[in-house]
Amino acid sequence: MSKKDIVLDAILTQGTLPLFFYPDAEVSLEITRTLYKAGVRVFEYTNRGAAALANFKVLKQAQQAKMPDLHLGIGTIKSLEEATAFIDAGADFIVSPIVNPEVGEFTAKQELLWIPGCMTPTEIYTAQQHGAALIKIFPANILGPEFVSSIRDLFAGQLFIPTGGVDLNINSISSWFRAGVCAVGMGSKLISKNVLENKLYDQLYSDTITLLDMVKAAR
């Protein structure tokens, strides 16, 4: 099985994809350890600050040493240059807020999973034409579960994951799965600014276990 298929299977099995960025490398590492301790085996660090690449390398080193079964991806990748830098640093998959065919083609050559962000049927079609096995519905808070319900028959068999519009409660999570997504992205609703700035690792551990339980109940 290729790395692409292994990571896709991990996301489908987990049913959720946590994601975050924080400038401090040590806090980023502790968040990663906490997610892993709670049962997360695939998550997305996001390229949203000057320290992202350096921090990612720290996380990757820790993952290889202590968390070998964790799949560590990188998000907010918009250019080929960014994709190249993070794949060279060991990214297991690439997530984008946009559809950049150049990024998709390069990621495919590396036999890695590319998850582009789409908000229109045309973007979804373009992403499919460039090998997107999993498509991010983004921004999901604007589009809502009804969008997925409305377009899923147009793209039979396509896997979708919403990001930016999923709340940490069973009603929100269930509504997305009923609409037809295969997993839900969880950013600041799980790993909040308060958790990051105040190092609330015990709270994050508890909330992550709750999230995983709610995903199981919602599917």
| Terminal CA-CA length for the chain | 25
Q: Are 127 and 151 in contact (CB under 8 A)?
A: no
Q: pLDDT by residue (tens digit) across 101-146? A: 999 999 999 999 999 999 999 999 999 999 999 999 999 999 999 9
Provide the pLDDT for residue 104: 98
**Average pLDDT of span 152-176:** 97
Q: Does the reported pTM lie above 0.85?
A: yes
Element (H, E) at 177: helix 170-179
Provide the pLDDT for residue 14: 98
Provide the pLDDT for residue 105: 97
Distances (CA, A) of 178 to 94, 124, 171, 172, 174: 26, 20, 10, 10, 6
The overall average pLDDT reported for the chain is 98
Provide the pLDDT for residue 71: 98
**Average pLDDT of span 28-57:** 98
Q: Where are the alpha helices (DSSP H) in 16-169?
A: 25-38, 52-66, 80-88, 101-109, 121-129, 140-151
Q: Categorize the per-residue pLDDT at 8 as very low, low, confident or very high, splitting at 50, 70 and 90.
A: very high
Provide the pLDDT for residue 200: 98
Q: pLDDT by residue (tens digit) across 59-106? A: 999 999 999 999 999 999 999 999 999 999 999 999 999 999 999 999
Q: Which two tokens stand for residue 34?
A: 């906490």
DSSP string for residues in 110-124 = TT-EEE-EE-SHHHH
Q: Which residues are paired to 111 by β-bridges?
A: none
Q: Are 3 and 112 in contact (CB under 8 A)?
A: yes
Provide the pLDDT for residue 112: 98
Between CA 168 and CA 170 the distance in angstroms is 7
Provide the pLDDT for residue 168: 97
Between CA 22 and CA 48 the distance in angstroms is 8
* pLDDT higher at 165 or 57: 57
For residues 138-161, one letter each, b for 16 or more C-beta atoms within 10 angstroms of the residue's C-beta and e for the rest, the string is bebeebbbebbeebeeebeebbbb
Q: Which residues are paired to 162 by β-bridges?
A: 137
Between CA 93 and CA 107 the distance in angstroms is 8
Q: Categorize the per-residue pLDDT at 177 as very low, low, confident or very high, splitting at 50, 70 and 90.
A: very high
Q: Are 71 and 36 in contact (CB under 8 A)?
A: no
